[in-house]
Amino acid sequence: MGSSALQAMLVGLVMKQLFKTLTDDHIILSGEAGLKFIDKSWRNLDIAIYDKRKVEDKSAFLINKYIEIIPEIVIEIDTKAPNRRGRASCDTLFLS
């Protein structure tokens, strides 16, 4: 599913900061990367961060399929998440 212009811009800004901050020991995936679970379910991840030192099979990132390796960190950006009053708002940042 496509992202809104706002969501795409926010993902880009976060990615820019991550590339400045993280070392070469990390792999960063973005663009709704598909993560496949053992039970055959899957999730799309806005941004997924992997520690290269903990990934045994680095070729898993070079196949044209959903990745099956759980990332160290996942960042989801949802511009339509309901705020505490139950309304969608872009002026609230939820971190969990």
* 47 found inside a domain: yes
pLDDT at residue 88 is higher than 60: no
Q: Is residue 93 part of a domain?
A: no
With cut-offs at 50, 70 and 90, classify the pLDDT of residue 84: low
Average pLDDT, the chain: 82
96 within a domain of the structure (yes/no): no
| Residue keyed to tokens 């960042």 | 75
Q: Is residue 94 part of a domain?
A: no
- The domain in which residue 57 lies consists of 5-75
In a domain, 61, yes or no: yes
- pTM of the predicted structure, to 2 decimals: 0.76
Q: Is residue 82 part of a domain?
A: no
Q: How confident is the model at residue 86 (pLDDT cuts 50, 70, 90)?
A: low
The pLDDT tens digits for 25-56 are 999 998 888 788 878 788 888 899 999 999 88
Q: Could you give the number of structural domains in the chain?
A: 1
Asked whether residue 91 is domain-assigned, the answer is: no
Q: Helix %, strand %, coil % for the chain, to 5?
A: 25, 30, 45
